[in-house]
Amino acid sequence: MRPVRSTLYVASVFALLTGCSAGNVAPPTGYAPASNVAPWQRFTMRTIPPNPMNYDTTPRSGVYASQFDGPALLGYHAPNRKNHSPVCKVDANYVNGFSVDGTGNLVVPNGYPSVIGVFRGPDMCGKPMGTFKDPYGQASDAASEDAASGTIVVGNIEGVSSDRAGNIAICTLHHGCSRELKSSHITYYGGGVALSKSGDCWMASEDNASLSSATLTYFRGCKGGGTAARGWKNAYYGGLILDPKGYLISIDYLAPAVWVYKGCNPLCHLVGGPFALQGDSLYGNLSGNLLAIGDSEFGQVDVYSYSPKRITYEYSFSQGLTPSDLVEAAGFSPST
């Protein structure tokens, strides 16, 4: 997981040295006059076509994978034990995490500029339902129980304030983002976000640039300044997933491992873990008893069988994915 500004800086320097544009980074089209506009908002996002391109018959359920430096979110049949190629795609821009709700609506937080696209389920790579801007930072994750008409919480890896600490934007598809959740407990990069059925929010975050500590912040009713969760044992930040029992599945990025907690509102009670993962991993989601996670270390999607007390590796697939493009996230459609 990374902020866009570091990628753009490296790519821009390379472009100046070689005299041509680098990779998928578009050349700047002029700077906004406001001094607090973040670097990633000073460029033009690649155009998302009105209809995603389908490679063959699009399934009504499956699994998605995102790559931060890849040009698209890829859709696959599920299960994909035989490592088949993707069957559809949604063009996207610097995606870290993403969200799929219970009916298969897909929420894609484009990081550069910070624009969230929503695509209709249950078909994979469905028709666009709309987009909205996130004015509070670089969108890097999302969570929603009902992306079509309900609340969408967007996690920002960086905010636009002087401290650049991560935050949560509270949004809806039709009205955009109306407010920002900041906390003194979120002092550096923001990671995974979660939204409960009762309307509570969480964000996992890094405490400093050396990746040496992490925090989990709880926002009761998705309001206020947040409370540091106690009893959270993760060494690193990562994705957050709520299972059907309300247990919080927390991915420990560089361990790499998964922890399962009860509560964290703000006191966490350990239910299970740490459960070892195949490689360094950030974001995933749950469908029934299967957990799909993006594996950035090995450039693949890893699928596990899940229960709060036990996680077992099942299989991986990598067709269409490129390790150097950083596989950041995976998610079943629909999710549970």
The string of pLDDT tens digits covering residues 125-180 is 999 999 999 999 999 999 999 999 999 999 999 999 888 899 999 999 999 999 99
Is residue 38, in this structure, part of any structural domain at all?
no
CATH number at 231 reads 2.120.10.30
Which domain range does residue 281 map to?
Answer: 46-333
- Is a pLDDT exceeding 50 seen at residue 251? yes
Residue for token pair 């209709």: 120
Enclosing H/E stretch for 20: none
- % of the chain with per-residue pLDDT over 70: 82
Is residue 67, in this structure, part of any structural domain at all?
yes
Is residue 128, in this structure, part of any structural domain at all?
yes
Of residues 211 and 245, more confidently modeled: 245
The rounded distance, in Å, linking the Cα atoms of 111 and 173 is 17
- Is a pLDDT exceeding 90 seen at residue 211? no
Torsion, Cα of 85, 91, 96, 98 (10° steps): -90
The pLDDT value recorded for residue 336 is 87
Is residue 9, in this structure, part of any structural domain at all?
no
HSE-CB of 191 using CA atoms within 13 angstroms: 31
Phi-psi region of 235 (alpha: psi -120 to 50; beta: other; left: phi over 0): alpha
Task: Give residue 211's identity as a one-letter amino acid code.
Answer: L
The pair of structure tokens assigned to 74 is 């890829």
The pLDDT value recorded for residue 26 is 27
Check: CB of residue 276 under 8 Å from CB of residue 293. no
∠ CA(266), CA(176), CA(217), 5° rounding? 15
Kindly indicate the confidence band of residue 5, based on its pLDDT and cuts at 50, 70 and 90.
Answer: low
The rounded distance, in Å, linking the Cα atoms of 104 and 87 is 16
104 phi and psi angles, rounded to 5 deg = 95, 5
Total domains in the chain come to 1
155 phi and psi angles, rounded to 5 deg = -90, 130
Counting beta carbons within 10 angstroms of the beta carbon of residue 49, is it exposed (0 to 12), middle (13 to 18) or buried (19 or more)? Answer: exposed
Is residue 187, in this structure, part of any structural domain at all?
yes
- Is a pLDDT exceeding 70 seen at residue 7? no
Cβ contacts of residue 209 below 8 Å, gap of 6+? 188
Provide mean pLDDT across the span 62-89: 96
Provide mean pLDDT across the span 255-275: 98
**Threshold 0.75, pTM exceeds:** yes
13 phi and psi angles, rounded to 5 deg = -65, -45
Is residue 18, in this structure, part of any structural domain at all?
no
The pair of structure tokens assigned to 278 is 């195949």
SS3 of residue 193 by DSSP: strand
The rounded distance, in Å, linking the Cα atoms of 149 and 152 is 9
Is residue 26, in this structure, part of any structural domain at all?
no
Which segment of 42-56, 90-104, 288-302 scores lowest on mean pLDDT?
42-56
SS3 of residue 231 by DSSP: coil
The string of pLDDT tens digits covering residues 95-137 is 999 999 999 999 999 998 899 999 999 999 999 999 999 999 9
The rounded distance, in Å, linking the Cα atoms of 105 and 273 is 30
The string of pLDDT tens digits covering residues 19-34 is 222 223 222 222 222 3
Is residue 12, in this structure, part of any structural domain at all?
no
